[in-house]
Amino acid sequence: MVWIIIQFDKKLVLQYEKVIEKDHKVAGLLQDYISNIRTVITLHLEDFAKTELVRKIMDMFGDSRKNFISIEIKWFTVSMCV
């Protein structure tokens, strides 16, 4: 049973790294837009900024969803072994 958890965790660590990396990119993008809000408003880039931010968040959501599914499969497998 411990072996099963370790095998799942190896895969999950890689997925966590992807999610964290994309989360940092989203946070950085949001910080850039907030710190440059005058420029964004002056150049009428609100729609572009919103679209870009939503695209990055949705990209991150796909990896998060895979992660959630892997966690559920992990604990289902472990509970079936017990």
Q: pLDDT > 70: what percent of the chain? A: 100
| Average pLDDT value for residue range 53-65 | 91
Q: Examine the pLDDT at 58 and tell me if it is beyond 90.
A: yes
Q: What is the reported pLDDT for 81?
A: 86
Contact in structure between 74 and 12 (CB atoms under 8 Å): yes
Give the pLDDT confidence of 39-48 residue by residue, as tens digits: 999 999 999 9
Name the amino acid, one letter, at 77. T
> Would you list the domain boundaries of the chain?
2-81
Distance CA 26, CA 54 (A): 9
Q: Examine the pLDDT at 54 and tell me if it is beyond 90.
A: yes
